[in-house]
Amino acid sequence: MEMGTGRIKLARILAIAGFICGIIGLIAGLEDRILKLSPWGWFTGGILLMMIALFILLDGAIAFYKLRIVLTPPRNE
């Protein structure tokens, strides 16, 4: 497994969890249901998870491309 791919998988899982939290907040808001977290709480949690996923995804992508640059042999011209 190459460098950064584990972080990319974690970022995808967190993005899915954030999306699910947003959907729960949307359904709770549309039905006027009172859950342990208010609809705003579910949206805030979803946004937080999505932002963390975005930062982890960028960090994994940077690590992946840095490894490719380091391991690429120089050109002999």
74 inside domain = no
What value does the mean pLDDT take over residues 47-71?
83
Q: What is the pLDDT of residues 38-52, one digit of tens each?
A: 777 878 888 888 999
User: Roughly how many angstroms between the first and final C-alpha of the chain, as a whole number?
Assistant: 32
77 inside domain = no
Q: What is the pLDDT of residues 4-22, one digit of tens each?
A: 678 888 888 988 998 998 8
Domain count, the chain: 1
Determine which of 22-26, 32-36, 59-63 has the lowest per-residue pLDDT on average: 32-36
What's the pLDDT at 16? 92
Report whether pLDDT(24) > 70: yes
Distance of alpha carbon 54 from alpha carbon 73, whole angstroms:
31
73 inside domain = no
Q: What angle do CA 3, 56, 52 make, to 5 degrees?
A: 165
Secondary structure element (H or E) that encloses residue 35, with its range: none
